[in-house]
Chain A
Amino acid sequence: MSELPRASDLGLIGCHVCRMVCRDVKAPDAACPRCGSPLHKRKSGSYTRTWALLIAAFMFYLPANILPIMRTVSLGDVDDNTILSGIIELWVKGSPDLAVIVFTASIVVPVLKFFALGLLLISSQRGSQWAQRQRGKLYRLVEFIGYWSMLDVFVVALLTALVQFGFFSQVEPLPGVVFFGLTVVITMIASMTFDPRLIWDGRDSDD
């Protein structure tokens, strides 16, 4: 394994934007000669930025789950739903299979993202060599599934547009849905800010 050459050892940098292989001129403002994007050996300030974004996302995630995301008014009856109560309603009255999909997208995926990114950050900062391949796969999973969490936000938007029968039945969005949308956006940015190459960098090549 160790004889596989790494770009940073060979004095090379791969451009993220166009995959051009460039020589590392060790200048802070080096740019890719092909696409003009800035070249970095590693994404700059990856640990600090990812931590900051992850904590910010978590602070939005709490109200997203505690506050109701949607209000249903029918014949004067007011019913506020949180993400979880909406899933339970879907399970009980509608279709359990869709309830599982929504549960995965709205609860499992965000929680997984917090744990996964937290784990990746801590283990990489400690220069851990534990399960590097698996940690790499975990990162790619987080990147791939991240945006599906927007599902519930779009469901609320559609139901609000559809259920406009005045006194008989009406759906309104509530603040929870705004917090949830922001959580998804911020966790997406957090996973983009994390540099997966840090998983492989070991203890002393952290820069």
Chain B
Amino acid sequence: MTMPSQGLKPALAPPTLWICEHCDTVYRRRKLARGEVARCVRCDALLARHHSIGVRGMFVLVITAMIAFVQANIWPIVTLGLNGHQISATLWGCIMIMWREHAQVVAVIAALTLFFLPIVKMGFLFWILAYARQRRRAPGFRWIMVTLYRVGPWTMSEVFVLGALVAIVKAHMYFEVQANPGIFAYGVLMLIITAFSSIDVRRFWDLTEETPA
């Protein structure tokens, strides 16, 4: 029997190792040169990459993304015309109509992946980065980082942009179609998401120092 004082908390190994998440191979950490990417020898998965975008750069990107997101949501995305009638769609217009037309599941998926979770992601990143600029950990750092990790794969704005493109082409077969500012704001958002996709947010654990509570 182990003594209760030894507890269930695992002792920390020194932070000098990388463990490949895809095959469990252990590597000694090393500094990466500019633009360098470390890959696992066994399974070729990404271990770590050198980040050319620093904390300040990321902070600016997040703020730009927030502005683009607001624009993308207040302006209509596309307008259709038929016999002088005009109808525009916004993201919330899509969500509401799917709810009313008995596709509530789709409405919920769209509201989460295109509205609420992106807001959570951007808001949390903003909060973490605002403090990380002074190498400090924001209040609530631990659970925010865990939430960011869990939310990670569930934001789909970039898929929605491609969807808008397909919808425009489909509608163009029968209607006059006009692209609105919303779609351009979404385009900007898509570029920022692409720039951000190579960034592993888990590096904030190493970039910031623990402040004694």
A-B contact pairs, 28 of them (CB 8 A): A4-B25, A6-B24, A18-B146, A19-B18, A19-B19, A20-B205, A23-B10, A23-B12, A33-B10, A36-B143, A36-B146, A98-B166, A136-B43, A136-B44, A136-B45, A148-B159, A150-B156, A154-B159, A154-B167, A160-B101, A162-B167, A162-B171, A164-B97, A168-B85, A169-B175, A173-B102, A177-B103, A196-B22
Contact yes or no, B170 A197, CB < 8 A: no
What separation, in Å, do the CA atoms of A160 and B10 have in the docked complex? 54
What separation, in Å, do the CA atoms of A199 and B147 have in the docked complex? 28
Query: A181: shortest Cβ distance to chain B, in Å?
Result: 5
Contact yes or no, B162 A151, CB < 8 A: yes
Q: Which residues of B contact A192 (CB under 8 A)?
A: 153
Contact yes or no, A7 B24, CB < 8 A: yes
The count of residues in chain B whose C-beta lies closer than 8 Å to any C-beta of chain A is 69
Contact yes or no, A181 B105, CB < 8 A: yes
| CB-based nearest A residue for B203 | A19
Q: Which residues of B contact A33 (CB under 8 A)?
A: 9-10, 12
Query: A117: shortest Cβ distance to chain B, in Å?
Result: 15
Give residues in A with beta carbon < 8 Å to B: 1, 4-8, 10, 12-14, 16-25, 27, 29-37, 39, 74, 86, 89-90, 93-95, 98, 101-102, 105, 132-133, 136-137, 139-140, 146-148, 150-165, 168-169, 172-173, 177-178, 181-182, 185, 188, 192, 196-197, 199-200
Taking a contact as CB atoms closer than 8 A, the residue among B44, B78, B167, B172 that contacts A137 in the complex is B44
What is the interface of chain B mostly: helix, strand, loop, or mixed?
mixed
A-B complex: 9 closest residue pairs judged by Cβ atoms: A154-B163, A14-B19, A158-B167, A161-B89, A136-B43, A173-B103, A157-B94, A161-B94, A200-B23
Query: B111: shortest Cβ distance to chain A, in Å?
Result: 11
Taking a contact as CB atoms closer than 8 A, the residue among B22, B42, B97, B113 that contacts A150 in the complex is B113
Query: A161: shortest Cβ distance to chain B, in Å?
Result: 4
What separation, in Å, do the CA atoms of A14 and B159 have in the docked complex? 31
